[in-house]
Structure 1
Amino acid sequence: MVKSTKIVLLLAAMWASTVMAQEQKEPRTNPKVTDIWVVFKTHFDLGFTDLPENVFKRYREEMMDNALAVIEKSATLPPEKHFAWTVSGWPLQAQILGPLQTPERRARIEKAIKTGALVVHGLPFTTHTESLDAEDLVRGLGYSSAIARKYGLPMTISAKMTDVPSHSWIMPTLLHHAGIKFLQLGCNPASQYPRFPELFWWEGPDGSKILCNYTPLYGSDIRPTENWPCKNYLAMQMTGDNHGPPSAQEIDKLLAFAAKEMPGVKIHFGTLDDFTKAVLAEHPDLPTVKGDCPDTWIHGIQSNPEETKIARNIRPLESALDALNTQMNRWGIPTASVAEKLAKAYEQSLLYGEHTWGMNAEYGPRYSYGDDWKKWMNEAAAEPIPENGNYANLKNSDAHNTSIGSKRKWLHSYDEKRQYIRNTNDIVGTTLSQRLDQLAAAINKKGKRVVVYNPLPWKRSGMIEDPWSKGRYYYLPDIPASGYMAYSPDELTTSNVTHSEQPAFSTPYFNVTFDLTKGGISSLVEKSTGRELVDKSSPYVMGQFLHERFSTNEVNKWFNAYSRIKDGWGLNDLGKPGMLNTPYLAFTPDKWKIDVARTDIVDIVTLTAVATAGYAQRYTLTFTFPRNTAYVDVAWTVTDKTPDKQPEGGWLCFPFNVQQPTFTIGRPGGAVNPATDIIPGCNRYLMAVTSGVAITQPDQSGIALASADAPLISPGQPGLWKWDMDYIPKTPAVFVNLYNNMWNTNFRLWQDGSWSESVRIWPVDKGASTVPNLVQHSWETRLPLLTGVAEGEAGKLPAKQSGIAVSRTGILVTAFGENPDGNGTILRLWEQAGISGNCKVKFNSPKTIKSVIPIDLRGNKTGPAMAVKNGAFDFHLGKYSPASFQLVYQD
């Protein structure tokens, strides 16, 4: 991703791996290696080099024609010299074999697939892995498995990602439970990378292991490295971004070089699966690495704060829609299938999580700042919109010709990226709303009514907003697991609102004092213990908004520490050449107006900045204190944020009064302690969380937070433009990133607009189990109670009913619906709380379930059927592990 067009073309012309080998002045040998497995692949960028539709067209046509020509020419050679081209799952299934492919070319492609010359690996493409939820990652495996099933081939046992340096340690768990045994990861050549061994076992948080090869470049030299530990060596031969396969001449050159430099070593052209089988047959003695790898590119997802908020909100609701639709049918409410809609929603969500977020900034205002940037934007606005709104035919080489809309094309590429998750939101949001209203209509209550649905598989209580009167809230206790309760308006308790401007007051759980200079809570005392929860020594108050503008000092210090390429495209893409020489600025509005609205259900404090110094039209902070639950919701809202291309970022600050702090960060796959669980070379300053963050002291008391909207946090200090190998947070504070424009390549270069982001904080009791507490409250934050409304004649369903339930909190139902890998109905659970042990699942359905068949994450049977007795079954569920089952019904 992070390469200019010139470098891409250079790599395309010269073949990076071969060039590396030939430029070595001294021969490098490894006498242990007897067999070299040469695997050919190109790096897939969804966009970046052009608009996605142009990239897809090139894959379908030019790239496939070139690949097929090489495949067919090599078919007359000995089997070990047959050219095989490896591709990612999604482009092969959705584009190369998609509906726009010609019948003639499709026939040649299908022949190549069946003969093993065109090979798919297990993953859909390169992702910002930690930005995705678990079920999105699972559905991404389905593209390659669908190809295997269609053509009667064995499922691949290998996977590959290139470019993004680091991936969450959910990957070993995910791949192991899908039957995939090997993962090859290649890094962008400018970026820092995790200091893994070259070949090792990567252990996930659940104890799963996969074989992994990590290279600090896209691929690897054809010559074995000096310390390669096995007889079988992987030469991962990569061409540049969206370049396509090597030519026959380049392959001949590679073979000639190998024969000269490595006489006696057997060269195999093959696949990642071939290498995997060969090296596993050696039973190699390799190191095991257990640790997480926060992504050093993850800041980029908050370059689109509005769409990333949508992603954070809607992804848990994909599973909620799946389960609700299934349960409504079992409750006797006929509903249409949502399988096709969910497949599209998951696809669009994955495309938003793919690692390219727009076209390369070399086609945009990369070097323009201040007045020059404003001029560029004005010129873009003045360009004509292409006929029929079609930007695809505009040439990237015309980027500086303002008469043909090329600037608009660059801006449009970012709109296309944002649209993916908006599509998911439209599909899931609309369908889920329809189902909830349909459920309300089926309730045996006459007249106006609201149904409250709990999408989590454990009983819970919570607040809802009045669906008929915005701004009015109700507290509802004991909503059944995966079930519902229905209410008529007169069954909901209402109360009057009083207003004041007093900055100090008391709730049933807290004594609260606000600071109207910094804009936040200066004192939050837990009444049951007398604990002060705010760190009084901090320069920040709780919930304070902080805007940073960075100078060349911070940018250059980060660049010099992080980038392995100090000039050329490395500087252009990772640095900020041309930025204005302005000093670092930390800004918080210094005067806030307060309104305290109090009811019997909730107290809501609204702070409004008196002056914004031109950074936005308005800033608002809203603090919500429920009267039935000990938490505080903090919501930040910006109106008409001023766009600025100068490096900047925004935060909500949470300084906690915790002594000898231990951080527990709820990452994808499992909780981590950043002091012990992060592989050196990864991002220690900024990372995405799936659940939330807890900071505790030795007696396990402390404070935790989670956000339904904002996935990025920095432990200890604000973490933009920071990287080193050793940082461990010591200050008991969490900073939640609201927006940033940290990079200079294919993430959005400025933010504007109006939006909001919220964070929930709660005290952790002495002696509490940290991870289960964090997981339960975080998922109740991310998956709120859902409502549907109806009026008119009564239906037949009872006013209260439970759904599928698990025997303990902290286990998610990530799939309960039509099988995406075949026929029937599947149930997938995923343990989140770090607890191994017995799990009991109870169904609530008049349709009798006879048994469940264990399956893996790609739908393959893994064990004998397990009986379901009295609507329930028990099994052992390991910590942080998924468990999937296919349901078998009585005849």
Structure 2
Amino acid sequence: MLQRAKLLFLMALALPASAQKNAAEHPQVTDIWLVFKTHFDLGFTDLPENVFQRYRGEMMDGAMKIIDDNAKLPPEKRFTWTVPGWPLSEQILGPLQTPGRKQKIEKAIREGAIAVHAYPFTTHTESLDYEDLVRGLGFSSKVARAYGLPLPISAKLTDVPSHSWVLPTLLSHAGVKFLQMGCNPASQYPHVPPLFWWEGSDGSRILCQYTALYGSEIKPGADWPCRNYLGMIMTNDNEGPPSKEHLDAILQKIATDLPGVRVHLGTLDDFARAVLKENPKLPVIRGDMPDTWIHGILANPRETSVARRARPMAPALEGLNTQMKIWQLPVGSISGPLAKAYEQSLLYAEHTWGMNAEYGPRYSYGEDWKKWMREAEAEPVPVNGDYSQLKNSSARHPETGSKRKWLHSYDEKRQYMMNAAQIVDGELAHHLELLAKSVGMEGKRMVVYNPLPWKRSGMVEIPWKKGAYFLARDVPASGFVSFSEKEIGQTAGATSSVSTLETPHFSVVFDLKKGGISSLVDKKSGKELIDSSQGYVAGQFLHERFSSNEVGAWFNQYSRIKDGWGLNDLGKPGMANAAQVPYLAVTPQNWHIDIAGSDAADIATLTPTDTRGLAKGYKIVFTFPKHEGYVDVEWSVDSKTPEKHPEGGWLCFPLAVKEPVFTVGRLGGIIDPSKDIIAGTNRYLMAVSSGVAVTRADHSGVGLSPIDSPLISLGEPGLWKYSEKDMPRKAAVFVNIYNNMWNTNFPLWQDGSWSEKVRIWGIDGKTETNQALVGNAWEARLPLLTGAADGPKGSLPARREGLAVSRKGTLVTAFGDNPDGAGTVLRLWEQAGEAGDITVSFPEKSKFTKATPVNLRGEVAGKSVSVTHGKLRFALGAYQPASFLLE
């Protein structure tokens, strides 16, 4: 993703000091496996459609030429080009490929000259949800199955420095044996051995090579631990395969420096099989690697919020569709639309979010930036909306090319997530409306559907009365309850504008200067949950404007390249110095409050009298349900003022917990950040899957789940900070709601209107911390869903049970058409770290009698078990997935 010209190839030829030794000092290395790949960027170098055209055309022609040139050599000397799953499946072999070229490519795939690895492309992994990751493996599987090849057992990630430890669990349970991860040359990277076993939170292990470059040096370092060595030869971003001259230079270098060592041109799978057969003694690294680039996803706060809500709704939609078939309602298969939604969601998580900032106002600030924007907006929209043929405009040479094209590249990236949400939301609305029409109740009614596999109660908005809420009690697991208009009713309570509030669960004091809650006493425990002495109040909106001091300090700690493209891509060249524009932390002052009560909830709405020029308006809504002890905090902005100078926004939650212990629900497992983060990765900012618990020695404390933005900092706001050792000391959680920290290929400013919601609750210490976190957090992320109808009654009962699991905290991530073949797939994923037997109860009228264990790519992984009296019992490990094909 970063600009490197020929740097990567030259660094592969130049040997590090540790490797400047002769072959005699490496007696253990007998075989070098050379694997060739180009780094795939979805955009960055150009608009995606131009990148795809290049992959389909000239790249493949280049690959086929070198393949043909080497065709007469012995098999181990023949060139093989490795390609990630999605571009090979959907573009190179896709419907826009020419028939003649496709025929040549297919021949090369069958003969092994073009190889696919298991992963779709490089992702901001921790921003995704579980089933997105699983479906992403399907692109490579599709290619392998289409051409009669075994599924690939290796995967490659490039550029993004670090990834969630969901990867060893995901890949191991998919039958993948080896992962090669390569960092870009400028960023810091995890402190891990060159070859190791990476152990996931569930105990799964995968063989890993980590390199501080895209690929690896040609010659092994002195610390290489085994006889087989991987030379991962990478060409530049979207550059294509190496030339014959490059290949010859590499082979000559090896022959000179390592005489007698056998050289194999092959695949990642070839290397993996060789090392696994060798079975060397390797270190085991158990821990998480939070992404040091993860701040980038909040450069698009609206679309990231859409992603956060839509992604868990895709499995919910699939499960509802399957159950409605079981209940004999007239719904068809949604496997096609759902596959498209998962693909579009994955494309949004791919690590490039627009074109290189060299084509935009990278160096412009203040009036220069505003002038650039005016010129871009004044450019005519191209005929038929076709931006692909426009010439790029460089920030250094703005007089040439199109500025609007650069802006358009960000819109194209945003559209992927909007496409996914449109599919999921549209299908859900259709299904819920049909379900409401089908229940045995006449007249105006509402059906409430529970997308989680355990029973719960919750507030829902009345479909025909916006802003009015109703408490739906005891909605069965994955089932529904119906309510007539008369049953729902709606009794409005008193309204007031005082700064205190008594609810069934809390005593509340609002701070109308900072705009938040200064005291929140949990009536059940009698404990204060908020510590305003930290200088913040709960729900407070904090805006930071950063100076060159913070930017420079971070850059000097983080970047390994201090000038050139390293400075341009990671720093903020051209910004004013700190004397001209100092650091500033701002919160709008003097908030007005309105409190309204109803049967379902008390709702306090705060609005400021002065936005400090940061936006047209702000609003923070605190919702206190009557049925349960939690608070929903929803911040919204009207027309945020765009600003290119480094800035960021937060929602603040200072918590009254002494000597805090942090429990963070990450993708792949719950972590203790004091123990489970691998050095060199992100300690200041990370994405959460479920939420965060902050507890005392007696396990009581506060839980928090960010519903729209997944990014949190612990102890203090974490933008423009990097440390290999720092640990949070204060009991505080900060939810990031926007930032423009990136300077490469993420949007450089934020504007417009959007909202961010966070749920907080007290933890009494009686329930195990993980359970207290996971159950409440997933009820926040997957709310009860509603459909409405009016007219004659249908044939379904007013209430029905759906798919249920016996252990709260285990998610159902798939229940529908098998994406890897025929049949119905059921997939569970344990979230709370509890191992033991679990029972799945199928919906009434289901006819499943047998369940065959399969891995995450649909391969049979065990003996079939019986489904008896509608129940499936099996052992499920902590943080493990389990998949079954149902018959």
Return the TM-score normalized by structure 2.
0.98
Q: Deviations over 1:582-626 (max 9, x none)?
A: 000000012111111122321100110110111111111110001
Within a 5 Å distance, the mapping from 1:786-865 to structure 2 comes to 786-865=785-864
Partner SS state of residue 471, structure 1: coil
The structural deviation recorded for 1:321 is 0.6
Distance 1:147 1:235 in 2: 25
Partner SS state of residue 65, structure 2: helix
Q: Deviations over 1:739-758 (max 9, x none)?
A: 00001111110000011101
8 A Cα contact 1:380 1:405, kept in partner = no
Which residue matches 2:507? 511
The letter for the 2-side match of 1:294 is P
The answer to whether the aligner puts 1:543 opposite 2:542 as a matched pair is no
The letter for the 1-side match of 2:853 is P
Distance 1:26 1:260 in 2: 12
The structural deviation recorded for 1:850 is 1.3
Within a 5 Å distance, the mapping from 1:44-55 to structure 2 comes to 44-55=40-51
The answer to whether the aligner puts 1:155 opposite 2:154 as a matched pair is no
Distance 2:398 2:569 in 1: 23
Which residue matches 2:266? 270
Distance 2:314 2:400 in 1: 41
Partner SS state of residue 849, structure 1: coil
Which residue matches 2:13? 18
Partner SS state of residue 294, structure 1: coil
The letter for the 1-side match of 2:258 is M
8 A Cα contact 1:173 1:205, kept in partner = yes
Which residue matches 2:774? 775
8 A Cα contact 2:337 2:423, kept in partner = yes
Which residue matches 2:485? 489
Which residue matches 1:630? 629
Q: 1:491 to 1:743 in 2, by over 3 A?
A: same
Partner SS state of residue 527, structure 2: coil
The answer to whether the aligner puts 1:408 opposite 2:404 as a matched pair is yes
8 A Cα contact 2:470 2:599, kept in partner = no
Distance 2:230 2:727 in 1: 35
Which residue matches 2:141? 145
8 A Cα contact 1:383 1:405, kept in partner = no
Distance 2:845 2:671 in 1: 42
Distance 1:834 1:694 in 2: 14
Q: Deviations over 1:691-739 (max 9, x none)?
A: 0000000000000100221100001100000001001111000000010
The structural deviation recorded for 1:530 is 1.6
Please say which of residues 463-472 and 296-305 is displaced more in the overlay.
463-472
Partner SS state of residue 640, structure 1: strand
Which residue matches 2:717? 718
Q: Deviations over 1:363-414 (max 9, x none)?
A: 0000000000000000001111111111111222666776886100000000
The structural deviation recorded for 1:873 is 1.3
The letter for the 2-side match of 1:533 is L
Q: Deviations over 1:832-869 (max 9, x none)?
A: 01000001011014241110010000000011110011
Q: Deviations over 1:20-63 (max 9, x none)?
A: 57998765752210000010011000000000000000000000
Partner SS state of residue 535, structure 2: coil
Which residue matches 1:606? 605
Within a 5 Å distance, the mapping from 1:847-886 to structure 2 comes to 847-886=846-885
Q: 1:732 to 1:633 in 2, by over 3 A?
A: same
Distance 2:812 2:401 in 1: 47
Distance 2:20 2:307 in 1: 50
8 A Cα contact 1:384 1:404, kept in partner = no
Partner SS state of residue 57, structure 1: helix
Q: 1:397 to 1:518 in 2, by over 3 A?
A: closer
The letter for the 1-side match of 2:182 is G
The letter for the 2-side match of 1:748 is P
The letter for the 2-side match of 1:858 is R
Partner SS state of residue 795, structure 1: coil
Please say which of residues 341-350 and 579-588 is displaced more in the overlay.
579-588
Which residue matches 1:87? 83
Distance 1:588 1:248 in 2: 60
The answer to whether the aligner puts 1:529 opposite 2:528 as a matched pair is no
Q: Deviations over 1:124-155 (max 9, x none)?
A: 00000000000000000000011111111011
Which residue matches 1:2? 2
Q: 1:871 to 1:751 in 2, by over 3 A?
A: same
Partner SS state of residue 858, structure 1: coil
Query: Which of 440, 443, 446 matches 2:439?
Result: 443
The letter for the 2-side match of 1:455 is P
Partner SS state of residue 470, structure 2: strand
Distance 2:155 2:542 in 1: 41
The letter for the 2-side match of 1:2 is L
Please say which of residues 255-264 and 367-376 is displaced more in the overlay.
255-264
Return the TM-score normalized by structure 1.
0.98
Which residue matches 1:60? 56
Please say which of residues 761-770 and 876-885 is displaced more in the overlay.
761-770
Partner SS state of residue 529, structure 2: coil
Which residue matches 2:659? 660
Distance 2:78 2:824 in 1: 41
Distance 1:560 1:433 in 2: 50
Distance 1:24 1:457 in 2: 55
Distance 2:782 2:308 in 1: 10
Distance 2:636 2:788 in 1: 28
The answer to whether the aligner puts 1:706 opposite 2:705 as a matched pair is yes
Gaps of 5+ in 2: none
Q: 1:20 to 1:419 in 2, by over 3 A?
A: farther
The structural deviation recorded for 1:236 is 0.5
Distance 1:19 1:85 in 2: 22
Which residue matches 1:255? 251
8 A Cα contact 2:650 2:737, kept in partner = yes
Percent identity between the two aligned chains: 61
- Alignment RMSD (CA, Å): 1.4
Distance 1:386 1:537 in 2: 56
Distance 2:481 2:633 in 1: 28
Distance 2:395 2:56 in 1: 25
The structural deviation recorded for 1:627 is 1.0
Which residue matches 1:204? 200
Query: Which of 213, 221, 227 matches 2:223?
Result: 227
The letter for the 2-side match of 1:870 is H
Q: Deviations over 1:330-379 (max 9, x none)?
A: 00102111000000000000000000000000000000000000000000
8 A Cα contact 1:849 1:887, kept in partner = yes
The letter for the 1-side match of 2:163 is H
Partner SS state of residue 416, structure 1: helix
8 A Cα contact 2:186 2:566, kept in partner = yes
Which residue matches 1:328? 324
8 A Cα contact 2:19 2:219, kept in partner = no
The answer to whether the aligner puts 1:355 opposite 2:351 as a matched pair is yes
8 A Cα contact 1:633 1:761, kept in partner = yes
Please say which of residues 129-138 and 534-543 is displaced more in the overlay.
534-543
8 A Cα contact 2:361 2:395, kept in partner = no
8 A Cα contact 2:363 2:395, kept in partner = no
Q: Deviations over 1:432-491 (max 9, x none)?
A: 100000011111111111110000000011000111111111111110000000111111
Q: 1:495 to 1:425 in 2, by over 3 A?
A: same
Regions of 4+ moved over 4 Å: 19-29, 397-405
The letter for the 2-side match of 1:436 is L
The structural deviation recorded for 1:493 is 4.2
Distance 1:730 1:256 in 2: 55
Partner SS state of residue 439, structure 1: helix
Which residue matches 1:190? 186
Q: 1:16 to 1:68 in 2, by over 3 A?
A: farther
Distance 1:515 1:58 in 2: 57
8 A Cα contact 1:380 1:402, kept in partner = no
8 A Cα contact 1:27 1:261, kept in partner = yes
Partner SS state of residue 533, structure 2: coil
Gaps of 5+ in 1: none
Please say which of residues 846-855 and 270-279 is displaced more in the overlay.
846-855
Aligned length: 883
The letter for the 2-side match of 1:693 is V
Please say which of residues 536-545 and 422-431 is displaced more in the overlay.
536-545
